[in-house]
Structure 1
């Protein structure tokens, strides 16, 4: 399964899915295909919604401050791009011309302490422009929250935006969702990082609060369904998945799906939201500017107050996605991205970045050791050296360290270095090479090996060559996905040895290839 297929799978875009079949039952506008304006197309949900809208037959327009960010997407040639800020009335008015439905997916949570004022300004601008342009429908994704209590600044801002849009005079559906589960979602990433890093977690008392997470594929289903709702419907609707869980149960549910031991969680009444957000910022890569409003929001019990949505919008035909299944989908996509993404694909910066819209801290944690060296040797000469690696030839550097690693692996129940390899000169997918397995071969270009040694995580080694002028460039990358805290400590403990092993491999492989060139050139 390729990256695009897995992206579609997590988002519920496989063709045809039960969700798509349910949506077909909703009448589509007659005549010319409706035009949708997506505000927030470079965000987590916006980047996943646009291709779904295109599949459903919409003409799509986006409003973004950066056209280059939009052009990074594979679907950018199929949409209209309007450049401008969502707070700029003139830019929004231009973007609204001829639009039937507006998807409001923007919020300014990461912009600092004045994010509420920014969100208010944008909402008022959009509401006015949509009314004046004769837009038929606004679809807004807000936050699930209780009634009659003082909300956190983040949730209060989301609720305020909903009130402004509902008062706009344009039929509006405000979908109120809690924690969205999917790789790249800020709330979901916070759960993932905390669970993977901490075997034991001191936490505020909010870890005992009940919340109702929802899978990203189900959110996308409801967003598209809302665009086709009856024109007289204008109201807020709670949406959520089938599971109501405590936050601590979410963490341990993730741990089970990720193959980690369940985490001990201590509820501490003295840990304030401010201190907790700093704690999250310290032990995870989620920025404090995002962690703090999210942590503050977790003080509330965020569960659907009613199921009115079921009377207005259809559920996916195959049912809502359970929390554990949503985690499995996210983890499965990340691992396939890692396996199928190679350094030879310059469009992808790292295996943990499946979409340009995802933040740099999204996706599964990945460690890499990447090295390269130009050589006067031909690509064929370098490739001939690469394909002889392992077995009797060895690993081109630090044979004692490799032997020690193989001995330790054997001692702990692994395969060790004794398997060798099937052929001295040829490698095909599936071949064993000592403690590695050949996972991919692009003849003359790239060899990817997957580790079968006992390590607390997933590991790959890529060796490749490309032509440069009259010579070549040799590239080498080790990739490691740690499993829990043990995996992170393992990588850190190996760093001193990587300097010896991996730099030695680069030098030896290039030297042998150039030696072969010199030998043939002297004849």
Structure 2
């Protein structure tokens, strides 16, 4: 077993799912990240070595590669703008040269699935050429080429998810009828791990996909069907790619600068023509598209969300992520974790919600009118436990002095949660507050957008009021 594995792109989607599986297998993992602070909220961060570095700056790579046997290259530069193509190739060349100097034995690379002999989008051509550039310095490179990856947090899947949730009719260009072979994130990770542990496959290039060939239109409509949504699709000629990327930016977590090249990539088929991966990795049990979507939807709960925000004090963010609208806030509290947790334990019921309590009560009365549970009070005990009723919430998770999560049972077109996390710090602690809402269809999206101005006011005031109460109450 290799001594230490280097994982690049550690803040990215694939790496953040791969790292826990490497740790489960007993590997020592070193992560390369341009901004290590973005990893501080990841549950696996304390179990890995994190090195700051950038593949576009060759001088930062030797330290990251010291005493590394094998490396995963999981990087792209699409977010950098129109010059991403050249940046991708230069970065791959930098990495390959540094790996040769560090005597790394094996590079494993995940690229894009397209026919290199056909006319393909620049993004897909860049992915294929990146593999070639990684080979220029003579190190064996095992390359996997994948198309649409299905899993919570995948750029492709989140585009599908949020477009289907927002749009009652799905407009698109005629090339939505092009074909793909979507693959579950679980299977992508299976291949990446198998390459590390199967020397016989080292140095090969493998096309990987799921067992079904589906059009891009079918991917959208099958997702909608599994969510219980009816989403007719209409094809419209001549829609500019820039216009589509703008809409994707507004409705999904994918920014226009990344959506543009991804949409261009849909203009050609993304299919497996060489089945050598199936022959050389026979133990991998491929999920079909419906199974992959079901698995992703089963993770539509905060317990499985990979945090992509910083818990540094004073950071407030509103974002779309892994099927959720999220309101994230954090601040420094000049009180002990136990004092903050005591304040959280006292929320709700006759004690109220510390900020604009009348609004919380009005929402409970409205919920009762709509047939929901409304305001049900709270247990007499000072300490909440999982399963307890707390007004129109149910307590889902309690970790003393660390974590409280509530599940909303309000009548609404979606599912909601509210949670607080406490991190000890010299002179007090950092309190983070996350509100999650998973919309169901257009009604759920409109519900969240309509309430956003009120949410910004209420959630900001709530975390401030919790901090103030913790700082002023006796800590006993």
Aligned residue number for residue 320 of structure 1: 286
Residue in structure 2 matching 1:364, options 311, 314, 323: 323
Aligned residue number for residue 222 of structure 2: 253
2:10 maps to 1:41: yes
Aligned residue number for residue 288 of structure 1: 256
2:78 maps to 1:112: no
Residue in structure 2 matching 1:458, options 415, 419, 424: 415
- Encode CA deviations 1:424-475: one digit per residue, 9 max, x unaligned: 988654344554334455789987543323111123456999999xx99999
For residues 424 and 104 of structure 2, the distance between their equivalents in structure 1, rounded to whole angstroms, comes to 55
Conserved in 1, the CA contact under 8 Å of 2:343 and 2:469? no
Change (3 A) 1:67 1:384: closer
Partner of 1:148, secondary structure, is coil
For residues 515 and 80 of structure 1, the distance between their equivalents in structure 2, rounded to whole angstroms, comes to 39
Where does structure 1 lack aligned partners over 5 or more consecutive residues? 1-27, 353-359, 518-523
For residues 48 and 457 of structure 1, the distance between their equivalents in structure 2, rounded to whole angstroms, comes to 26
Aligned residue number for residue 448 of structure 2: 491
- Encode CA deviations 1:347-367: one digit per residue, 9 max, x unaligned: 998999xxxxxxx65323324
Partner of 2:415, secondary structure, is strand
2:393 maps to 1:436: yes
For residues 264 and 23 of structure 2, the distance between their equivalents in structure 1, rounded to whole angstroms, comes to 36
For residues 485 and 214 of structure 1, the distance between their equivalents in structure 2, rounded to whole angstroms, comes to 27
What is the deviation of 1:215? 1.7
Aligned residue number for residue 276 of structure 2: 308
User: TM-score under structure 2 normalisation?
Assistant: 0.78
Change (3 A) 1:457 1:346: farther
- Encode CA deviations 1:10-62: one digit per residue, 9 max, x unaligned: xxxxxxxxxxxxxxxxxx5xxxx444333323322223323433443444444
- Encode CA deviations 1:297-338: one digit per residue, 9 max, x unaligned: 01111111131112222433xx12332333333333341428
For residues 444 and 192 of structure 1, the distance between their equivalents in structure 2, rounded to whole angstroms, comes to 35
Matches of residues 99-248 of structure 1 in structure 2 within 5 Å?
99-131=68-100, 133-166=102-135, 168-230=137-199, 233-248=202-217
What is the deviation of 1:209? 1.7
Residue in structure 2 matching 1:414, options 367, 372, 389: 372
Change (3 A) 1:441 1:207: same
Change (3 A) 1:147 1:394: closer
Conserved in 2, the CA contact under 8 Å of 1:185 and 1:362? no
For residues 272 and 119 of structure 1, the distance between their equivalents in structure 2, rounded to whole angstroms, comes to 25
Where does structure 2 lack aligned partners over 5 or more consecutive residues? none
Residue in structure 2 matching 1:297, options 236, 241, 265: 265
For residues 188 and 10 of structure 2, the distance between their equivalents in structure 1, rounded to whole angstroms, comes to 15
Change (3 A) 1:473 1:218: closer
Change (3 A) 1:169 1:261: same
Conserved in 2, the CA contact under 8 Å of 1:198 and 1:485? yes
- After TM superposition, the structure 1 stretch with the greater mean CA deviation from structure 2, 400-409 or 168-177, is 400-409
What is the deviation of 1:121? 1.3
2:295 maps to 1:329: yes
- After TM superposition, the structure 1 stretch with the greater mean CA deviation from structure 2, 496-505 or 84-93, is 496-505
Change (3 A) 1:253 1:129: same
Change (3 A) 1:430 1:305: same
User: TM-score under structure 1 normalisation?
Assistant: 0.72
Conserved in 2, the CA contact under 8 Å of 1:255 and 1:262? yes
Residue in structure 1 matching 2:240, options 249, 272, 281: 272
Conserved in 1, the CA contact under 8 Å of 2:313 and 2:332? no
| Structure whose alpha-carbon radius of gyration is higher | 1
For residues 65 and 506 of structure 1, the distance between their equivalents in structure 2, rounded to whole angstroms, comes to 31
Partner of 2:221, secondary structure, is helix
Partner of 2:119, secondary structure, is coil
Change (3 A) 1:427 1:483: same
What is the deviation of 1:203? 1.1
Aligned residue number for residue 10 of structure 1: none
For residues 46 and 475 of structure 1, the distance between their equivalents in structure 2, rounded to whole angstroms, comes to 25
For residues 247 and 381 of structure 1, the distance between their equivalents in structure 2, rounded to whole angstroms, comes to 49
Conserved in 2, the CA contact under 8 Å of 1:136 and 1:231? no
For residues 281 and 480 of structure 1, the distance between their equivalents in structure 2, rounded to whole angstroms, comes to 19
Conserved in 2, the CA contact under 8 Å of 1:383 and 1:445? no
Conserved in 2, the CA contact under 8 Å of 1:398 and 1:500? no
Conserved in 1, the CA contact under 8 Å of 2:316 and 2:328? no
Conserved in 2, the CA contact under 8 Å of 1:166 and 1:235? no
Conserved in 2, the CA contact under 8 Å of 1:229 and 1:312? no
Conserved in 2, the CA contact under 8 Å of 1:382 and 1:510? no
Q: What do you get for the CA RMSD once the two structures are aligned?
A: 4.8
Conserved in 1, the CA contact under 8 Å of 2:345 and 2:382? no
For residues 274 and 214 of structure 1, the distance between their equivalents in structure 2, rounded to whole angstroms, comes to 27
